[in-house]
Amino acid sequence: MTRHADENPRFRVVLAIPDLRTRQKIQTALQMSAEFALVSTALSLSDAFADIEGLSPNLVMIDAELASSPEFRVMRDLFGQRELQWILVGEAQSVAATQSAVTIGQGESPSAIRAQLAALFPSVKKDTSARSLPHASRSLVLIGASTGGVEALGKVLTNFPADCPPTVVVQHTSRGFGANLVDLLNKRCLPKVVLATNDQPLAPGVITVAAGLPMHVELAPKGPARLQMRDPRGETHIPSVDRLFHSAVPRARRVVAALLTGMGRDGASGLLALRQAGATTFAQDSATSVVDGMPRAARNLGAVSRSVPLGKMSAALLQACEANIPKEQNTHA
């Protein structure tokens, strides 16, 4: 049982995690924000119970296996009496039915865990001093969305760090709404958010939004990553998610792409082409999608590496970007 000092944090955390590696990852993730302070680590329910009574935390993070024991019912009563927030920690299959949970896979990084915490507690201020994403410029994040996408993008992009990988978003909207969407995201996001323009270079810390434009947006086929405006003909939606995704195939091994909620199937074939060329591809799961058309079309094609709930999409994207670093070392942009 270990205690740590803190300075006026918003969340005073008791961490009840027996596994050393998991505990260390979460400790590192908590240190990334001044709003979390670890006041105790406990290896058993009895230790955690004593720390809750003696240290007055307001958040308990507890291992899913500990929480499955009959004795946990007593602790839940204590949570209720003290109005404590608590979340489960475990592998995806052990916490699948619980919204207030942090999933810890074998390769889960502290920054990905930090993104999950930010999604669970959206009111937490984003910490610009948080650890930088290593070699962020080596990955490209591409996101497509339609119906319900404005709200979904807000939840995903507000959890991106200030030095996020270069990110391009295609959102289906009415003509001219793109500037309003950029303004909205700029008020909520740490990275700079800009409206797509022709011959625009892509850089870490910048999210480029293609929405309400009269032209398609594509990646230039060679050289440093930059955008090009293309002929608006040939697709139902302008700009088109498929056109962006297909244009990124030559750079697929450094691409992390996702389809969020939306009607229709725009982006499905492009996501498949990216996956077949070596990209990491995600789709929002059906349970959290306002409309499951675009993600479902991609799943049906076999274009999706993994379906992810909206609240965990930021973490999935950032973790995949970190995983891109070794696989991309022999790839030339």
* DSSP string across 263-282: SS-TTHHHHHHHHHTT-EEE
Beta pairing partners, 160: none
CA 142 to chain centre: 13
One DSSP character per residue, 226-252 reads: BEEEE-STT-SSSS-HHHHHHHTGGGG
CA distance 196 to 198: 7
Q: Give percent of the chain above pLDDT 70.
A: 85
- List phi, psi (to 5°) of 230: -125, 165
pLDDT for the residue numbered 327: 43
> Where does CATH 3.40.50.2300 sit in the chain?
11-120
- List phi, psi (to 5°) of 167: -130, 135
pLDDT for the residue numbered 281: 97
At residue 226, does pLDDT exceed 60? yes
In angstroms, what is the C-alpha Rg of the chain? 21
pLDDT for the residue numbered 122: 63
Range 299-321 average pLDDT: 93
Structure tokens at 296: 């479902």
At residue 188, does pLDDT exceed 60? yes
The answer to which of 43-57, 107-121, 186-200 has the lowest mean pLDDT is: 107-121
Cβ(252)–Cβ(279) below 8 Å: yes
At residue 270, does pLDDT exceed 50? yes
Question: Is the pTM higher than 0.85?
Answer: no
Report CA-CA distances (Å) from 82 to 64, 78, 79, 148: 21, 6, 5, 37
First to last CA, the chain: 48
Q: Identify the CA nearest to 305 among candidates 255, 263, 262, 266.
A: 255
Q: Give the CATH superfamily of 136-327.
A: Methylesterase CheB, C-terminal domain (3.40.50.180)
Which class for 333: exposed (0-12), middle (13-18), buried (19 or more C-beta within 10 A)? middle
pLDDT for the residue numbered 291: 94
Report CA-CA distances (Å) from 99 to 81, 95, 124, 153: 21, 8, 18, 19
At residue 230, does pLDDT exceed 70? yes
Cβ(34)–Cβ(22) below 8 Å: no
Q: Identify the CA nearest to 284 among candidates 273, 268, 270, 138.
A: 268
Range 81-89 average pLDDT: 81
pLDDT for the residue numbered 298: 97
Which class for 69: exposed (0-12), middle (13-18), buried (19 or more C-beta within 10 A)? exposed
Burial letters for 146-156: b for 16+ Cβ neighbours within 10 Å, e otherwise? Answer: bbbbbebbbbb
Structure tokens at 20: 């050393």
At residue 135, does pLDDT exceed 80? no
> Where does CATH 3.40.50.180 sit in the chain?
136-327
What angle, rounded to 10 degrees, do the helices at 110-120 and 313-327 form? 170
More confident residue, 9 or 147: 147
Name residue 75's amino acid: M
More confident residue, 116 or 211: 211
CA distance 163 to 174: 30
- List phi, psi (to 5°) of 98: -115, 125
At residue 119, does pLDDT exceed 50? yes
> Any idea which fold 11-120 has?
Rossmann fold (3.40.50)
- List phi, psi (to 5°) of 16: -105, 80
User: Do β-strands 36-42 and 11-16 pair in parallel, antiparallel, or remain unpaired?
Assistant: parallel
Beta pairing partners, 225: none
Catalytic residues: 146, 172, 266
What tens digit of pLDDT does each residue of 13-24 get? 999 998 888 888
Average model confidence (pLDDT) across the chain: 83
Range 202-220 average pLDDT: 92
Q: What band does 123 get if pLDDT is binned at 50, 70 and 90?
A: low
